[in-house]
Structure formats: structure tokens, C-alpha cells
């Protein structure tokens, strides 16, 4: 949540800050601002709404901006105080000697605010962030040095922060620091850039310094020096990163979401590559550093995650229980952390997070680690915060996901869970007879995904017809109940249409009261499992209440065309592997309905890609 960019060097500061913020739009997008060190003044410009509004503002004040040498910028997802210009970052101290941008939450801001007001500080905004500007300004009065002032201020802060700070008295450096929020420094030739994520720096440099918690960096045009709170100098470790330029380009697609949906077959193909070398040999997961003996003797597995990652985890439960015979609990991380749970040193906790930054999931992992559990983290960002607490990290390797609605990271998480469940079953010697067939079928999944994507035109037409409805019910059974939940989540997130998912068998226990001709029922039907016939019966019950019926199915049964109003076909697939395919039509339906309704597909209202607050 929230994106930060800082730049120092001889290039066009405004352009670099705005371009950097543009690549971080997925982190928040309700207001934006920049502070420029220009003509020995700090000039601050802010705008509410999309980044385009800030761009417009900057172009109208072009003549005011002379030749800035450094600046900081921010794109916001409001937590404290409305999305308005006053609450937008950057924030300044009373005398405007200090200016900061911040990502995270200052938990004790109310107490600090009261103390600072008593000292004469004048607050302008409702944000938690503003206290940090005042606090550093107060400390500066004693230290006359920005780095030292920051060092003195930090122990007074509770919460999470990534901060970039400028002082009117120090025209040649930006100071930055982080704690439980990401911040990296891109090292260039006579220029340096600071950002909360890689996309903001890749056009400038591929040399990166990953800042650790409580490390304070002084970033000048031609140097970076880092020390920790007690003054110990930390060597700058520059890492050459792999530049994923394709990931931050739409590659000709209208939206990132559509591009990311289409990337799924290759992501799955690449993930399988090297993991299933031969269907008769064991799955290769060298990243799992937990001993085989430990894995054999696990008393239970707990999966914790949020949102779409939670849906992947719910499917993971079926897989691990079915293949490896170990009991699995799945829980939203935000629930796990506030109850007395049974995690212990014989538990394996699997945390799933695309971003690796989700505050709820990180807190849950810390708690589980504190209880001695083994931690496996499944993430798309192996350099993220959550991986610090992991015994093993499974990188789902989906590439940077820009659209706020998760798609490719979901199928990559699913595939990783399939591989892990098979790996565990092989270690435990469970179901060995059926695992080879399963692996063989897994290898055919990327091609089947491609087949579904060729039917996109047809799904687009159906989406147009369906876009007139204001409410939807999604139903599924067994391994495809989480698929129905994910389908409903995708639709609500990007089209703002009310869509609720239920276990198909639960429909008759209450939700059926909602059904009439205005409430379409969307189902998943995969033959080969008892749940197929049972789900058809539930659809019949819905039809009897005049509901329009839509199904995503691999069935060739012609009788279905009498029952269903809309049929979206997917290739034949076994029930247990079907979630890898059945979700794709749901992603496309949500995408095309949202696009048809003219919604902001990639940046839906009120959402942010990384939810770094609990
Ligand atoms: C997915 O479309 C959502 N944007 C959201 O539910 C997301 O999955 C959730 O916030 C968890 O994020 P994470 O995977 O990065 O932890």
C-alpha cells in the first residue's frame, strides 16, 4: 500500500519521480504528490485522485519548477484521513524544514501528535505520517544533522514504515529507512533512486541495494552509506537484478489483467519444467529445506493467507489431504492471529502471499514461528518481507503482477501447491500408484489452458449479455468450491457487482431465497466425481426458481444445454486438477464484464495490490 520514489542526480527529477510513481500505481491510487529540492527551497505539489491529476498539476506549474536536483514522491492508499490534497504525501514539519513520504502505519501517532502539539508543532493533515515530519524536525534542532535526527526519532515510532526524508538544510542528500515495509535503492552512474518496489527503478539501473529493517541510508548523487541505529556502518551490498521489462509493459493488451491472464500457460509450463522430470520419479523441490523425517512426522498442516491466496490455500487443503493424507486447516491470516490456535513445533505452516507484504499474513507467520512451527512460504516475491520468517521459500515465479486483481499468481500458487502435495505424498509413501498419472496429467495443463484462451471471444460475447445483472450467486463443490469463491471475488473486485459464492449443497439451506430471474447462478461442473451429479441437482433447484444458469464445465453431455442458459466449455480434465483450468473462464468473465461496464479494470476502487495494514 502506497508507493514511494526518491531521486537524486542530474536527470529530470520530475519526470523520474512521476514515471516511477506510474509503475507503482498498483500500490495505491487515491492521491499523489512530489517534493522537489529546487532553488534552495522545498516545493511540494499534490493532487487527489489518479496520478494523471498530479501530472496535469505539474504541467500547469512548469514555470515554477527551475532545476531540481533531488526529490521524493508518493502515491497513496488512504489509511488515516480521507483521500484529499491535505492528507496526500509528502508531509512537512511546521516550518517546512523537513519533508517526508511514508509507506506503512505509525501506530502510536495519536500520542506523538499530542506531545508534538504541546511543543508547538502545527498539524495540517489527519494522517499518521505527519507526526514523523514534526518529530524529525524537533530532533534536527538538537542534532543539526538529518541522519542523526532520523536515528533519534525512530525509536519513538511504533509500527511499520518506509520513509524518504529531505531537509531544507541538506541540499545534497536524501535519507531513507525502513521497518516492516519494503524499500530498495537503485544505484546508478552519478544518480541514485529509492523506491518501494523494483518497477520504479528498472528504467534507470539494474543495481539494487535491499535495505534491511532499521538500516538508515544516506543517499547522495554519487554515494550511498548505510548504518544501523547504533551507528554501526553496514556494507552496501549491491545486487544485480534480472530486469523484467515485459512484466511492466502491457505487451499490446488493453489491460495488465488481460495480459496476465494470457501469461498463465507459460508460467505453469515453466514451473513444471525441472519439477516433474519423469512422471515415474519424485517431484523435485530442492527449495524445501525441512528434513524428510520432519515432513513424514508432521501432526498437521495449517495454511494461512488472504483473499485470492486464501482460495489457493483452500484448494491446497484438498490436495494435501487427498494425496498425502495429512490433516490441513486453512484460515484467513486475519482470523488466525487473533485466536488461541493449536500451532506447535510439530506443525507445518504454509503461508501464501503473492506480494509477500500482506500485514495479516506476515503477523500470522511471525506468531507461528514463535510457536516453533516449520514455515513454508509460497510467494511471487522471494525478496519480500515474509520470506525472512520462512524455513523454505517456494517462489511461484509468475513475474511481476501489476493488475490489482490476482490472476497469474493464483494459478502459479495452485500449481506450487499441487507440486508440494505430491512431494509430501511421495515422502510419506502415500498414493504412489496414482501419482504418476497425476503428474502426467499436470504436464498437459498448459496446453489445455491455451485451449481455453482461444475461446476468449465467445466468453467476451457471453460477458456482454451477463453485464446487465446486478447480483450473482456462484456455487461449487469439493475442490471447485474455492474456484467459485475466486470467481465471485474477481467479479466483485473489478466490476463492483455483488457476487457471493456458496457450497452448492448449501444453496437450499438459505441462499435459495435470493433466487429469481434477476439472480444468475454460476456453477463449476466437472464429471468423474460424485459431486458432479449433486451439483447438477442443485442447479435444477435454482432453475425451478427461475434463475438463469451459467456453468463452466468439461462435460460433453448434451443434456446440459437444456438446463443451462450459458455453457462455457473447458477441456476434459480430472476433477482434482480442474481448478487449474476452471478458474480461467471466471477470470475472463470478470475481466470482460468489467471492461464492458467501463470500469477501471487494473486499478479498481478502494483496493491496493499489497495490503500492508492489518
Ligand atoms: C486478489 O485479487 C486481491 N487483490 C486480494 O484478495 C489479494 O489476493 C490479497 O490481498 C492477498 O494478497 P497477497 O497474496 O499479496 O498476500
Closest among 328, 384, 340 to 612, alpha carbons compared: 384
Return d(Cα 461, Cα 596) in angstroms, integer: 10
Residue 448 lies in a domain: no
**Dist CA 65 CA 58 (whole Å):** 9
Is the preceding omega at residue 90 within 30 degrees of 0, hence cis?
A: yes
Residue 259 CB contacts under 8 Å (≥ 6 apart), including other chains: 250, 251, 252, 253
Residue 142 to residue 136: CA distance in whole angstroms: 10
CA atoms within 13 A on the CB side of 228: 8
- Looking from the CA of residue 406, the nearest atom of ligand 1 is 2
Check if the beta carbon of residue 303 is closer than 8 Å to that of residue 352: yes
Give the distance, in angstroms, between the CA of residue 117 and the centroid of all CA atoms in the same chain: 37
Q: Check whether residue 342 and residue 388 sit in a common domain.
A: yes
Last residue of a domain, one of 421, 443, 465: 443
Strands 41-48 and 31-38: antiparallel
3-state secondary structure at position 559:
coil
Burial 148-179 (b: 16+ CB within 10 A, else e): bbbbbbbebbebbbbbbbbbbebeebbbbbbb
Asked if residue 556 and residue 437 are part of one domain, the reply reads: no
What's the rounded Cα separation, in Å, for the pair 216 and 176? 6
Domain hosting 576: range is 454-602
Q: Compute the distance from residue 487 Cα to the ligand 1 centre, in Å.
A: 14
> 438 and 506: one domain?
no
Report CA(363)–ligand 1 centroid distance (Å). 15
User: Could you identify the atom of ligand 1 that is nearest to the CA of residue 306?
Assistant: 11
What are the per-10-residue average pLDDT scores of the chain (614 residues)? 92 96 85 96 95 95 94 90 92 97 93 96 95 98 97 95 97 95 94 94 92 95 96 94 74 96 97 94 94 91 98 98 96 94 92 95 95 96 90 96 96 98 96 94 98 98 96 97 98 97 96 95 94 94 96 95 97 97 98 97 88 77
Say if residues 74 and 90 touch (Cβ distance below 8 Å): yes
Nearest CA owner, ligand 1 atom 9 = 307
pTM of the full structure: 0.88
CATH number of the domain enclosing 91: 3.60.20.10
Mutation probe of ligand 1 site: the residue of 611, 612, 613, 614 with most atoms within 8 A of C-beta: 611
Ligand 1 centroid, distance to 503 Cα (angstroms): 22
Give the number of the atom of ligand 1 that is nearest the alpha carbon of residue 607.
4
Measured CA angle at 329 (ends 323, 334), to 5 deg: 140
Assigned domain for 184 exists:
yes
Query: Which pLDDT score is estimated for 79?
Result: 81
User: Is the same domain home to 239 and 249?
Assistant: no
Mutate to test the pocket of ligand 1, among 181, 304, 308, 331 (most ligand atoms within 8 A of CB): 308
Q: Which protein residues touch ligand 1 with a CB less than 6 Å away?
A: 306-309, 353-355, 358, 361, 404-406, 493, 607, 610-611
User: How far, in Å, from the CA of 306 to the mean position of ligand 1?
Assistant: 6
Looking at ligand 1, which atom is closest to the CA of residue 407? 2
In a domain, 609, yes or no: no
For residue 145, what are the contacts with CB-CB under 8 A and spacing of at least 6? none
| Structural domain contains residue 610 | no
Distance 311 CA to ligand 1 centre (A): 10
The set of cell numbers assigned to 314 is: 483452500
Ligand 1 atom nearest the C-alpha of 305 is 16
Round to whole Å and give the CA distance between 591 and 594. 5
Instruction: Answer yes or no: is 581 within a domain.
Output: yes
pLDDT of residue 2: 86
Number of Cβ within 10 Å of residue 518's Cβ equals 13
Looking at the fold, whether 220 and 304 belong to one and the same domain comes out as no
Q: Give a yes or no: residue 612 inside a domain.
A: no
Which residue's CA is minimally distant from atom 10 of ligand 1?
307
Nearest CA owner, ligand 1 atom 2: 405
43 catalytic residue (yes or no): no
Domain count, the chain: 3
| Residue 613 CA, ligand 1 centroid: distance in Å | 13
Do 235 and 254 share a domain, yes or no?
Answer: no
pLDDT for the residue numbered 217: 98
Cβ–Cβ under 8 Å, residues 460 and 588: yes
Residue 544 belongs to a domain: yes
Cell 531540481 locates to: 68
Helix 13-23 vs helix 51-60: angle between axes, to the nearest 10 degrees?
A: 170
Q: Please state, as a whole number, how many other Cβ atoms lie within 10 Å of the Cβ of residue 51.
A: 20
pLDDT value at residue 606: 86
Atom of ligand 1 nearest to the CA of 490: 2
Catalytic residue at 2?
A: yes
Judge if 504 and 407 occupy the same domain.
Answer: no
**In 3D, which of 443, 399, 380, 395 has the Cα closest to residue 260?**
399
DSSP state of 90: P
Q: Which member of 46, 259, 428, 609 is catalytic?
A: 609
Neighbours of 86 (CB within 10 A): 15
Atom of ligand 1 nearest to the CA of 379: 14
Choose the final residue of a domain: 398, 419, 443.
443
Backbone angles phi, psi at 245, to 5 degrees: -65, -35
Burial per residue of 12-40, b for 16 or more beta-carbon CB atoms within 10 angstroms, e otherwise: ebbebbbbbbbbbbbbbbbbbbbbbbbee
Tell me which of 256, 307, 379 to substitute to probe ligand 1's pocket, judged by most ligand atoms within 8 Å of the beta carbon: 307
Q: Collapse the DSSP code of 240 into the 3-class scheme (helix H, G, I; strand E, B; otherwise coil) and give the result.
A: strand
Task: Measure 353 CA to ligand 1 centroid, in angstroms.
Answer: 7
- Using the 3D structure, point to which of 419, 443, 467 is the last residue of a domain: 443
Same domain, 496 and 398: no
479 plus 499 within the same structural domain: yes
Contacts of 524 (CB under 8 A, 6+ apart): 475, 476, 480, 483, 484, 487, 535, 551, 552, 553, 578, 582
Question: pLDDT for 421-449, tens place per residue?
Answer: 999 999 999 999 999 999 999 999 999 99
Indicate whether 268 and 413 sit together in one domain.
Answer: yes
What is the rounded CA–CA span in Å between residue 156 and residue 135? 9
Read off φ and ψ for residue 389, nearest 5 degrees.
Answer: -100, 5
Q: Which three cell numbers stand for residue 8?
A: 537524486
Active-site residue, selected from the candidate residues 2, 121, 176, 539:
2
Q: How far is the CA of 355 from the centre of ligand 1 (A)?
A: 8
My answer on whether 181 and 60 are in the same domain is yes
Strands ordered across the beta sheet of 191-195:
41-48, 31-38, 70-76, 3-9, 191-195, 184-187, 207-210, 238-240
Same domain, residue pair 519 and 540: yes
- The CATH number of the domain where 490 resides is what? 3.40.50.10490
The residue behind cell 536524501 is 174
The pLDDT, as a whole number, for residue 244 is 66
| pLDDT value of residue 249 | 83
Best residue among 256, 257, 354, 414 to mutate for probing ligand 1's pocket (most ligand atoms within 8 Å of CB) is 354
Amino acid at each position: 500500500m502506497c508507493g514511494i520514489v526518491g531521486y537524486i542526480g542530474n536527470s529530470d527529477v520530475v519526470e523520474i519521480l512521476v514515471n516511477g510513481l506510474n509503475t507503482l500505481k498498483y500500490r495505491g491510487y487515491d492521491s499523489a504528490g512530489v517534493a522537489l529540492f529546487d532553488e534552495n527551497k522545498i516545493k511540494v505539489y499534490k493532487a487527489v485522485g489518479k496520478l494523471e491529476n498530479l501530472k496535469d498539476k505539474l504541467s500547469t506549474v512548469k514555470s515554477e519548477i527551475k532545476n531540481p536536483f533531488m526529490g521524493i514522491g508518493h502515491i497513496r492508499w488512504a489509511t488515516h484521513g480521507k483521500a484529499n490534497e491535505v492528507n496526500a504525501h509528502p508531509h512537512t514539519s511546521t516550518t517546512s524544514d523537513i519533508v517526508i513520504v511514508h509507506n506503512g502505519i505509525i501506530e502510536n501517532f495519536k500520542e506523538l501528535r499530542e506531545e508534538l502539539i504541546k511543543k508547538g508543532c502545527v498539524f495540517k493533515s489527519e494522517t499518521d505520517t505527519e507526526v514523523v515530519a514534526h518529530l524529525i524536525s524537533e530532533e534536527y534542532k538538537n542534532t543539526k544533522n538529518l541522519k542523526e535526527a532520523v536515528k533519534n526519532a525512530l525509536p519513538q515510532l511504533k509500527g511499520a514504515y518506509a520513509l524518504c526524508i529531505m531537509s531544507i538544510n541538506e541540499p545534497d542528500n536524501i535519507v531513507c529507512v525502513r521497518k516492516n515495509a519494503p524499500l530498495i535503492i537503485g544505484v546508478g552512474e552519478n544518480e541514485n533512486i529509492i523506491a518501494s518496489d523494483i518497477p520504479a527503478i528498472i528504467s534507470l539501473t539494474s543495481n539494487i541495494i535491499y535495505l534491511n529493517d532499521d538500516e538508515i541510508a544516506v543517499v547522495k548523487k554519487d554515494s550511498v552509506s548505510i548504518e544501523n541505529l547504533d551507528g554501526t556502518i553496514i556494507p552496501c551490498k549491491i545486487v544485480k537484478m534480472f530486469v523484467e521489462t515485459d512484466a511492466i509493459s502491457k505487451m499490446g493488451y488493453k489491460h495488465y489483467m488481460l495480459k496476465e491472464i494470457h501469461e498463465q500457460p507459460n508460467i505453469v509450463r515453466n514451473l513444471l519444467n525441472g519439477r516433474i522430470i519423469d512422471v515415474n520419479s519424485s517431484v523435485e523441490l530442492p527449495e524445501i529445506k525441512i528434513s524428510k523425517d520432519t515432513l513424514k512426522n508432521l501432526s498437521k498442516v495449517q495454511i494461512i493467507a488472504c483473499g485470492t491466496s486464501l482460495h489457493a490455500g483452500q484448494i491446497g487443503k484438498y490436495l494435501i489431504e487427498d494425496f498425502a493424507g495429512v490433516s490441513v486447516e486453512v484460515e484467513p491470516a486475519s482470523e488466525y492471529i487473533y485466536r488461541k490456535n493449536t500451532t506447535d513445533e510439530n506443525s507445518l505452516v504454509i503461508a501464501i502471499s503473492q506480494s509477500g507484504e500482506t500485514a495479516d499474513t506476515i503477523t500470522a507467520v511471525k506468531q507461528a514461528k514463535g510457536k516453533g512451527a516449520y514455515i513454508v512460504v509460497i510467494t511471487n516475491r522471494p525478496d519480500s518481507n515474509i520470506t525472512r520468517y520462512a524455513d523454505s521459500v517456494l517462489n511461484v515465479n509468475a513475474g511481476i503482477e501489476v493488475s490489482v486483481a490476482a490472476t497469474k499468481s493464483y494459478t502459479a500458487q495452485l500449481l506450487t501447491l499441487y507440486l508440494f502435495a505430491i512431494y509430501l505424498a511421495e515422502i510419506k509413501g502415500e498414493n504412489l500408484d496414482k501419482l504418476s498419472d497425476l503428474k502426467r496429467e499436470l504436464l498437459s495443463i498448459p496446453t489445455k489452458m491455451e485451449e481455453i484462451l482461444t475461446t476468449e471471444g465467445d466468453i467476451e460475447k457471453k460477458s456482454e449479455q451477463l453485464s446487465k445483472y446486478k447480483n450473482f450467486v456462484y456455487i461449487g463443490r469439493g475442490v471447485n468450491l474455492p474456484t467459485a469463491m475466486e470467481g465471485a471475488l474477481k467479479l466483485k473486485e473489478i466490476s463492483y457487482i455483488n457476487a457471493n459464492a456458496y457450497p452448492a449443497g448449501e444453496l437450499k439451506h438459505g441462499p435459495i431465497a435470493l433466487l429469481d430471474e434477476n439472480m444468475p447462478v454460476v456453477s463449476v461442473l466437472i464429471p468423474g466425481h460424485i459431486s458432479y451429479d449433486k451439483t447438477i441437482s442443485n442447479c435444477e433447484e435454482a432453475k425451478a426458481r427461475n434463475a438463469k444458469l451459467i456453468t463452466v464445465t468439461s462435460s460433453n453431455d448434451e443434456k446440459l444445454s437444456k438446463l443451462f442458459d450459458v455453457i462455457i466449455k473447458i477441456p476434459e480434465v480430472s476433477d482434482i486438477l480442474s481448478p487449474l483450468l476452471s478458474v480461467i473462464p471466471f477470470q475472463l468473465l470478470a475481466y470482460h464484464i468489467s471492461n464492458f461496464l467501463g470500469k477501471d479494470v487494473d486499478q479498481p476502487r478502494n483496493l491496493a495490490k499489497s495490503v500492508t495494514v492489518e
